[in-house]
């Protein structure tokens, strides 16, 4: 798979990365060996860029995959050695972020983490989390981390990072349908986000993106969704959550041009869930759910009763922050 130099970081990453959230306890909760096998499959297919987070609780899968690959054939061992791992934390202060970095290093059994980010930065959040940002700077200066940055769904935060001198990489949300793209407390378009991404690239930042399928809701337009991101030269790598080996094979087939023009993956077995990390409890999803499958949990956030859900997907379109996921 094609590799690119991620901004000015000196890190060479595949143009598709693997998000490991789907294999972990928040989604499919795969047994350790099964989840690790999917990561190994991705690596063997040429993917060397892995996205995780403190919140995902998926470090054991990555560690196990590295162990398996280290005892495999020479080619796989070399691939494992070139793996670029990106993690991130929702920590808001210095100590919390430094602890998150040390936890990742310890649980992954690595001497350092290639990329560490402030996770899910919203409008105004960068200023509010200055302590966490300082921890990232200090961790990079002491060699615990190679490159630092933010993950965000927000156009304004992406724009802000273009002029933030210490920021090396930006991990932003973009898809052709503009699902989940935000500016302040309102919605924004993929055109706005692309302009912000371009400003980051012009400033030498590495840029990779998330939610090409809008949290699974655009999978019915699989190739259209991929065509959009892969036609934008500003986007250096596209991070995609994989929970099955067949999903990795599909991407490889798309990239090598062997995918039939009318192909769409079978999503009939998928379920809907609401990301507790992203939900803001606004209730918009509940208003459109004719099955009354969505309720407020004890944290005041929306949750789906799977026994009532018809997987119609209407709630995902009603959600302003793309918290409804099909997996
Ligand atoms: S997918 Fe449809 S039925 Fe299920 S929770 Fe959403 S709106 Fe309700
Ligand atoms: S619409 Fe989205 S943010 Fe609002 S309650 Fe539903 S899932 Fe949460």
Residue 302, ligand 2, Cβ within 6 A: yes
3-state SS class at 286: helix
Ligand 1 atom nearest the C-alpha of 316 is 6
Which residue's CA is the nearest one to ligand 1's atom 8? Answer: 289
**Per-residue model confidence as pLDDT tens digits over 75-99:** 888 888 899 999 999 999 999 999 9
Confidence of residue 241 (pLDDT cuts 50, 70, 90): very high
Ligand 1 atom nearest the C-alpha of 292 is 8
**Per-residue model confidence as pLDDT tens digits over 102-112:** 999 999 999 99
The torsion angles phi and psi of 311, rounded to 5 degrees, stand at: 50, 35
Rounded to whole angstroms, the Cα distance separating 150 from 192 reads: 18
Task: Report the interhelical angle of 94-108 vs 59-70 (nearest 10°).
Answer: 30
Half-sphere exposure of 272 (CA within 13 A, CB side): 26
Whether residue 302 contacts residue 295, with contact meaning beta carbons closer than 8 Å, is answered with: yes
Residue 318, ligand 2, Cβ within 6 A: yes
**Per-residue model confidence as pLDDT tens digits over 264-313:** 888 777 788 999 888 999 999 999 887 789 999 999 999 999 888 877 77
Domain 272-326 has CATH 3.10.20.30: no
Ligand 1 atom nearest the C-alpha of 272 is 1
CA of 291 to the centre of ligand 2 (A): 16
Residue 190, ligand 1, Cβ within 6 A: no
CA torsion sign for 175, 85, 28, 77 is positive
Concatenate the DSSP letters of all residues of 37-55 into one string. HHHHHHHHTT--EEE--GG
Instruction: Find the helix or strand (DSSP H, E) in which 196 lies.
Output: helix 190-202
Rounded to whole angstroms, the Cα distance separating 58 from 107 reads: 10
Instruction: Find the helix or strand (DSSP H, E) in which 285 lies.
Output: helix 284-288
**Percent of the residues in the chain that have a pLDDT greater than 90, as a whole number:** 74
Task: Report the interhelical angle of 245-255 vs 222-230 (nearest 10°).
Answer: 60
Q: What residues does each domain of the chain span?
A: 3-255, 272-326
Task: Quote the pLDDT of residue 266.
Answer: 81
Which residue's CA is the nearest one to ligand 2's atom 8? Answer: 279
Instruction: Find the helix or strand (DSSP H, E) in which 151 lies.
Output: strand 145-152
CATH topology of domain 3-255: TIM Barrel (3.20.20)
Pocket probe for ligand 1: among 304, 316, 317, the residue whose CB has the most ligand atoms within 8 Å is 304
Which among 214, 256, 208 has a CA at the least distance from the CA of 12?
208
CA of 214 to the centre of ligand 1 (A): 16
**Per-residue model confidence as pLDDT tens digits over 19-44:** 998 898 777 788 999 999 999 999 99
CA of 206 to the centre of ligand 2 (A): 31
Q: In sequence order, which residues have a C-beta less than 8 Å from that of residue 191 and are 6 or more positions away?
A: none
Residue 319, ligand 2, Cβ within 6 A: yes
């Amino acid at each position: 798979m094609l590799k690119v130099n991620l901004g000015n970081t000196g890190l060479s990453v595949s143009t598709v990365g693997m998000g490991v959230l789907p294999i972990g306890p928040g989604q499919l909760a795969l047994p350790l060996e099964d989840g690790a096998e999917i990561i190994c499959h991705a690596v063997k297919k040429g993917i060397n860029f892995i996205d995780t987070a403190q919140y995902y609780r998926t470090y054991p899968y990555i560690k196990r995959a590295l162990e398996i690959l280290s005892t495999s054939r020479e080619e796989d061992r070399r691939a494992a050695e070139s793996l670029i791992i990106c993690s991130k934390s929702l920590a808001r202060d210095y100590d919390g972020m430094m602890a998150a970095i040390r936890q990742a290093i310890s649980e992954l059994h690595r001497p350092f983490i290639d990329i560490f980010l402030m996770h899910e930065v919203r409008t105004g959040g960068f200023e509010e989390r200055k302590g966490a940002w300082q921890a990232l700077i200090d961790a990079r200066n002491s060699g615990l981390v190679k490159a630092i940055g933010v993950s965000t769904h927000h156009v304004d935060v992406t724009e802000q990072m273009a002029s933030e001198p210490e920021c090396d990489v930006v991990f932003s949300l973009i898809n052709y349908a503009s699902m989940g793209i935000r500016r302040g407390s309102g919605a924004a378009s993929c055109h706005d986000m692309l302009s912000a991404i371009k400003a980051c690239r012009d400033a030498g930042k590495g840029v990779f993106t998330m939610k090409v399928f809008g949290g699974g809701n655009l999978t019915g337009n699989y190739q259209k969704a991929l065509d959009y991101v892969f036609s934008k030269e500003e986007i250096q790598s596209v991070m995609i959550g994989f929970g099955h080996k067949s999903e990795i094979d599909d991407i490889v087939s798309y990239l090598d041009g062997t995918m039939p023009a009318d192909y769409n993956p079978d999503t009939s077995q998928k379920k809907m869930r609401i990301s507790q990390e992203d939900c803001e409890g606004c209730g918009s999803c509940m208003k459109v759910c004719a099955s009354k499958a969505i309720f407020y949990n004890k944290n005041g956030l929306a949750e789906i009763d799977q026994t009532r859900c018809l997987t119609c997907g209407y709630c995902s379109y009603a959600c302003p922050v793309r918290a409804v996921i099909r997996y």
